[in-house]
């Protein structure tokens, strides 16, 4: 079985096209292929994100031409910084654009995928590690609070250059997680950004910190699998993607 995944990504993003194939490559009996369209973006600022979002319709057309089975709008902060509940509007707009062209495609976003994954784990009180400048990080916190989550604690690494975000060492991410107040926390989002690498330390963080650990990448993979009615049972990527923790 072959499933084609369309990715709409910032032009400077290199991580989602690395981590998502690594995760989904462990699904037995399914060959995934990945087809990206890029939106120009270098600085993770409100102005840079707005200019990037304006390129969405072109990117949708391009990935739609590849006959994909699912499309993932893979920039979490571009959606969360725009307005509360924005993932629902963006996913609906992309779906309408594709259906107008005659395509029947599952439409997802990193922002919506994270919200749904947290809900499916039953998490209510959460903690976050993000690469963003503080004003953007505060918008992510407000967005998730609006979705019904209590944000117990969070850290922003304050890296504005998106290319540099993709080079943040895993140990720096883990150190930020260790610095959080995790008392009473149901789940930790180790990387609330598909560009900040964290897949290599998700399992390590779960073992050390003793709670479920998600990332934008693992939540994106989870959303893809659920949308395509494929089994969720992947080793080495955290409890979110293990069969014994996935809701029926």
Q: Cβ of 64: how many Cβ atoms within 10 Å?
A: 22
pLDDT score for 111: 94
pLDDT score for 220: 95
| pLDDT band, very low/low/confident/very high, at 24 (cuts 50, 70, 90) | very high
User: Phi/psi of residue 209, each to 5°?
Assistant: -95, -15
Catalytic residue, from 75, 141, 170, 192: name it. 75
Say which DSSP state 223 is in.
H
Q: Is 167 a catalytic residue?
A: no
Least confident of 48-52, 152-156, 197-201: 48-52
Residues 80-122 have pLDDT tens digits of 988 999 899 989 988 888 887 677 889 999 999 999 999 999 9
For residues 211 and 182, the answer to whether their CB atoms sit within 8 Å is: yes
Q: Is 193 a catalytic residue?
A: yes
- In the predicted structure, residue 244 carries a pLDDT above the cut 70: no
| pLDDT band, very low/low/confident/very high, at 51 (cuts 50, 70, 90) | confident
**Residue 71 CB-half CA count within 13 A:** 31
> What is the gyration radius of the CA atoms in the chain, in angstroms?
17
Quick one: tokens of 121? 């784990």
| pLDDT band, very low/low/confident/very high, at 206 (cuts 50, 70, 90) | very high
pLDDT score for 180: 96
- In the predicted structure, residue 157 carries a pLDDT above the cut 90: yes
| pLDDT band, very low/low/confident/very high, at 205 (cuts 50, 70, 90) | very high
Count of residues in the chain: 248
Catalytic residue, from 193, 201, 217, 234: name it. 193
Which domains does the chain carry?
A: 2-111+218-245 (3.40.50.12500), 113-215 (3.40.50.12500)
Which residue positions form the known binding site for substrate? 13, 75-77, 132, 162, 194-195
Q: pTM for this structure? A: 0.89
The rounded mean pLDDT for the chain is: 90
For residues 15 and 195, the answer to whether their CB atoms sit within 8 Å is: yes
CA-nearest of 199, 109, 174, 173 to 147 is 109
| pLDDT band, very low/low/confident/very high, at 50 (cuts 50, 70, 90) | confident
| pLDDT band, very low/low/confident/very high, at 245 (cuts 50, 70, 90) | low
**Cα separation, 121 vs 229, whole angstroms:** 18
- In the predicted structure, residue 202 carries a pLDDT above the cut 60: yes
CA distances from 10 to 41, 76, 153, 187, 214 (A): 6, 11, 28, 27, 21
| pLDDT band, very low/low/confident/very high, at 186 (cuts 50, 70, 90) | very high
């Amino acid at each position: 079985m072959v499933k084609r995944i369309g990715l709409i990504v910032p032009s400077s993003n290199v991580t989602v096209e690395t981590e998502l194939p690594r995760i989904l490559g462990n699904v037995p009996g399914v060959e995934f292929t990945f087809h990206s369209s890029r939106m120009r973006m270098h600085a993770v600022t409100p102005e840079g994100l707005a200019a990037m979002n304006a390129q969405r319709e072109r990117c949708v057309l391009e990935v739609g031409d590849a006959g994909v089975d699912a499309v993932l709008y893979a920039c979490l902060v571009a959606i969360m910084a725009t307005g509360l509940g924005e993932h629902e509007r963006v996913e609906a707009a992309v779906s309408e654009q594709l259906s107008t062209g005659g395509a029947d495609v599952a439409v997802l976003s990193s922002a919506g995928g994270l919200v749904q994954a947290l809900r499916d784990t039953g998490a209510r009180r959460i903690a976050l590690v993000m690469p963003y400048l503080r004003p953007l990080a505060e918008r992510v916190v407000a967005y998730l609070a609006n979705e019904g989550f209590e944000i117990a604690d969070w850290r922003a690494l304050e890296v504005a250059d998106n290319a540099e975000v993709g080079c943040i060492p895993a140990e720096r991410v883990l150190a930020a997680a260790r610095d959080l107040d995790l008392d009473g926390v149901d789940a930790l989002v180790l990387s609330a950004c598909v560009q900040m690498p964290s897949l290599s330390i998700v399992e390590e963080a779960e073992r050390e910190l003793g709670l479920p650990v998600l990332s934008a990448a693992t939540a994106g993979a989870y959303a893809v699998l659920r949308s395509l009615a494929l089994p969720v049972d992947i080793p080495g990527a955290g409890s979110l993607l293990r069969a014994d923790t996935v809701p029926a």
